[in-house]
Chains A and B, each alone.
Chain A
Amino acid sequence: MIELGSPWALWALISVPLICLLYWMRPRRQVVTVSSLELWRAAVRERSRSFGLNLFASDPSLLFVLAAAVLLSLALGDPRWSSVRQAGRDRVLIVDTSASMQARAGSGGSQTRMERARVLALGVIDGLGPLDRALVMTSGRQARLRSGFERDPVRLKRIVAGLRASDEPGRPGRALALALSVLPDPAGGEILFLTDGAFDSTPEITRVVDSGRLRPILVGRPDEENVAITAFDLRPQPGLEGHYQVFAELGGFGRSSRQVAFDLAWNGEARRRRIVRVPPGTGTGHGVSVPVVLDLSALPSRASLEEGLVTASISVTSGGADGLAGDDRAYAVVALPAPLRVIQFGEPAPFLESALHVISDTHLVRRDQFRSEAFTSGTMAPDLYVFNRVPPPPLAEFPERARVLLVDVLAAGLPVRDRGWVEHPVVTGESDAPSLSPLDLSGVAIPRARRVERADPGASAGDGALAPRIWSGTTLLAFRYASQGRRFVYLGIDPQRSSFSRLAAFPLFVEKELRWLRSGQGEEPPSWIPAGQPVALTGLGSDGTPVRISGPAGDRVRLVRAGRVYFEETGRSGFYAYRSERPPARVRHFAVTLADREESDLARRWSPEIRAGEEGRRAAPLPGSYPLWPILLVVALVLLGIEAVIRRRQLGV
């Protein structure tokens, strides 16, 4: 089977009609008058029967010139003959649709890497033999099958033409592993991976490379300048109501230093701007942190809102180039909590109470001791019960959907064992929740704590779920427990006696646990989710409720709730709005953001057995293929030589 390495070179075939045109415009013909054309026409007709065309019969040298032009055009197309294509072959065509594919194919180029990959993919489909089959797959955060194994090139081309780069970070290992698993032919199949190679190799990728069935087709330049928002989060400012701390990290990729304007907008209104210098190399190392406090206390509309939409964006004001626009913006949704009603049993807890006041508009009622009437009184149930070193009732006695904070005290029914006390425990582990992970709690001084351990490590107790939050060895210093609609947070670090309450991590911890306690189910809703990650939609009413979701580009999706609603089409960054179609319908939002350091690094870091600096199919010759252009060139030269001899004889030289 013959395939073309550079199909664009076939444009040279346009020389064929040009040669014909020049032939007809040739002014050197000698005019000769004859008595009759009949015999001459008969002679030309006789030769045309041999050559096939009158044009060539009257001038066979033209035939040789045209044949030479066609052969030279084909030679420019770099045709290759592959000896292994005798039977039909299966190919999995993976197109990288991660965010980095939105970058331009080269500096100043008008084509994005994705557009270039699409062109090459169409070329691959053109090169399929009649018995070959191909399957199209995209690789973003998730691997997505876009077709089954197809023989119809028209359908395959339609699918490829509709592919677009997303804002998702790339996880090509998943797509490659899936491709290897779907290839039905254990020997003859091939995986074609059109990618920019802007990712680090993983064992999963290496395994596919080692299988020998992967043919990478690389697009884009090996290195590319970029500046990006590589991390983003925000939280309420402890001690300042209406203020939010915004944490952003900017990274510079390449060799240029840049000055960028960092802008923050709240519900579309520009609120803050900072000019930041981003040195080169900060993308792959430590980024440039941009802490900003967003003051929303004076916003009159804030009180009526339940959510706030925060947009961070950067724009280069001077310095190097910015190769990718998709990572210059980050989005977050801030939930604005309603006033928090708290009943606290036990002694006053100044640190805890101040943290609660800082975090939220808290209405706190203090009781010295717990009495069971507290659960049955006719007053409205509080949002939170706090037991500050006061024995609580057993779990089963708590009202449904009760939210409980246990400070240095345990309730009967929790799946833990109280094994006495431990002196000066050192924090050795903490949850990987985004708000805790940047903080080092190992320095927290705890004079004494309960030795609380899981009752049955490795298994959930009863129908509930226990999630450790802070621990010291096997001792749980803080954990969450949810059972039958009730939620409990245990804090074994006494804020009054430890240094925990004097650290910034303390109000942060309280705020996060409070959000979890007040939220409906599961983990607390994040302020944003990474592009391409499915999101569970909450607050949509009962099953059978139609749900309408609109994306940042105005695209709309309608789902019908059946159990939990998961929405997967989060490939585009921005704000998504969703609401139930049954009243009372409240519009809720979630944010999708790229903010991925690895994806913003546009430099090619993966190029197995690829000759550097080369692009496309030329970089990956076909297995068992042989170049045919030297043969075509020789034949073309021979034809031109014959033509020269014929011309000499015609002209009687």
Chain B
Amino acid sequence: MSEEEALHRRAPGRGDGLFGPEFLALLERLRLLLTGPLAGRRRGEHLTRRRGTGLELVDFRPYQPGDDPRRIDWNVFSRLDQLHSKLHASEEDLRVCVLLDASESMAYGDPSKFVLARRIAAALAVVGLWSFERASVLAFGERVETRLPDVGPRRGVHRLLDFLGALQTRGGTDLGRAFGETLPELARPALVYVISDFLGPVPPFDGLDRLRTLGHEISLVRVLAGEELRPRLRGDLRLVDVESGRSVRLTMDAALARGYRRALERSLRELEGYARRTGIEHVLVDTGEPLETVLLGRLFRLGRRR
């Protein structure tokens, strides 16, 4: 059964409200886009940014003790009288792993962040299946709550959509702990998409660093609700944290709204800065944006840039 047939013959499941005909049509458009430029890019053909033993020369570096003497570029030595090693890109099979934040805070917003996050996860995982034949999804909150292990192209799309359709938000967020629990399953390099609002009490950088040390290629998809990006609160308020139940009393005025915007911009800049420093991709998604724009205009380019 071809991929197109698998997509259209999918039996009705729990995520049908979430992944309706419009969403499936959108996936179909993605698939058509992928068949062009990505045609022929199958397993073993994906170039990673990891330096390895492949044939494609990507860079030189001064020779260091322990380097393979066979990789010394003698032509450079004859010209410069200096030893340099040749660096080649590694060629290996890749798989896609989507880490989806399923904490209570993702249920915030209208439409909720979790709806959009699951659609994005579905799209990224399905495209991963089509591109690399293996994909997995891990839903986390304070820890990894549930997981869909590697699925292949055969019936993989159905299982992915059923799994995502059945997910529900629960508990708080602890990215560090959750990412620590993913390490055994991410022992081999993978394309890792982290979909979250990144609004937990602890910055996610330690957890992301642990993922990076394993050589994964990481993309961050930050999903924020319009109410979070542009709060329209006024008067005497008691704000209750949906995850911890804690509250803070305040009286909303223009000065406090400015302070909130500055705090939000700081948070956005911190994550963007981290992504820039560490060379990983970062995309901010507003729940108010049309899904098509998000997928085709921004997320699809994540894969294309690799």
Show the binding face of A for B, using Cβ within 8 Å. Answer: 26, 28-44, 46-47, 58-61, 646, 649-652
11 A-B interface contacts by CB (under 8 A): A32-B238, A34-B108, A34-B242, A35-B199, A37-B246, A39-B264, A40-B250, A43-B259, A43-B262, A46-B262, A58-B250
* Distance from B238 Cβ to chain A, minimum over Cβ atoms (Å): 4
- Contact between chains at B239 and A32 (CB < 8 Å): yes
Query: A59 touching B251 by the CB < 8 A rule?
Result: yes
5 shortest A-B CB distances, which residue pairs? A43-B259, A42-B263, A35-B108, A35-B105, A36-B199
Q: Determine the main DSSP class of B at the interface with A.
A: mixed
A650 to B256, CA, bound (A): 10
Q: How many positions in chain B have a CB within 8 Å of any CB in the partner chain?
A: 42
Q: Mark B200-240, 1 if CB is under 8 A from A, else 0.
A: 11000000000000000000000001001000011111111
User: When the two chains form their complex, are residues A47 and B243 in contact, meaning their CB atoms are under 8 A apart?
Assistant: no
Determine the distance from Cα of A5 to Cα of B243 in the docked complex, in whole angstroms: 57
- Picked from A39, A60, A652, the residue with its CB within 8 Å of the CB of B255 is A60
**Of all chain B residues, which has the CB nearest A46?**
B259
Residue among B233, B236, B243, B253 making CB contact with A28, cutoff 8 Å:
B236
Identity of the chain A residue whose Cβ is nearest the Cβ of B235 in the assembled complex: A651
**Chain B residues, CB < 8 A from A652:** 234-235
Q: By the criterion CB–CB under 8 Å, are B234 and A44 in contact?
A: no
B166 at the interface (CB under 8 A from A): no
Q: Could you tell me if B267 and A41 are in contact, using CB atoms closer than 8 angstroms?
A: no
Residue among B109, B253, B264 making CB contact with A60, cutoff 8 Å: B253
> Is A43 within 8 A of B260, CB to CB?
yes
- Report yes or no: A31 in contact with B225, Cβ–Cβ below 8 A: no
By the criterion CB–CB under 8 Å, are A36 and B235 in contact?
no
Question: What is the bound-complex CA distance between A31 and B225, given in angstroms?
Answer: 19
Whether, in the assembled complex, B61 has its beta carbon less than 8 Å from a beta carbon of chain A, the answer is: no
For B256, list chain A residues within 8 Å (CB).
43-44, 47, 58
Q: Which residues of B contact A (CB under 8 A)?
A: 104-106, 108-109, 113, 197, 199-201, 225, 228, 233-244, 246-256, 259-260, 262-264, 266-267
B254 to chain A, nearest CB (A): 7
Q: Which residues of B contact A28 (CB under 8 A)?
A: 236
Q: Which residue of A lies closest to B265 (CB)?
A: A39
Q: Among A30, A43, A646, which residue has its beta carbon within 8 angstroms of that of B237? A: A30
Q: A34-B239, A43-B263, A44-B256 are in contact. List 16 more A-B contacts (CB 8 A).
A: A29-B237, A30-B237, A31-B238, A32-B237, A34-B228, A34-B240, A35-B225, A35-B242, A35-B243, A36-B200, A36-B242, A43-B260, A47-B259, A650-B235, A650-B236, A652-B235
Q: Which residue of B lies closest to A44 (CB)?
A: B250
Alpha-carbon separation in the docked complex, A31 to B252 (Å): 13
Q: Which residue of chain A has its CB nearest to the CB of B232?
A: A652
**Contact in complex: B234, A46 (CB < 8 Å):** no
| Complex-state Cα separation, A33 to B107, whole angstroms | 11
Q: Are A59 and B250 in contact, with the CB atoms below 8 A?
A: yes
Chain A residues contacting B260 (CB-CB under 8 Å) are 39-40, 42-43
A34 nearest CB across to chain B (Å): 5
Contacts of B248 in A (CB 8 A): 37, 40-41, 44, 58
Which of A31, A38, A44, A61 contacts B199, CB < 8 Å?
Answer: A38
A358 to B301, CA, bound (A): 140
Contact B236 A30 (CB under 8 A): yes
Q: Which residues of B contact A34 (CB under 8 A)?
A: 108, 228, 239-242
Q: Min CB distance, B148 to chain A, in Å?
A: 25
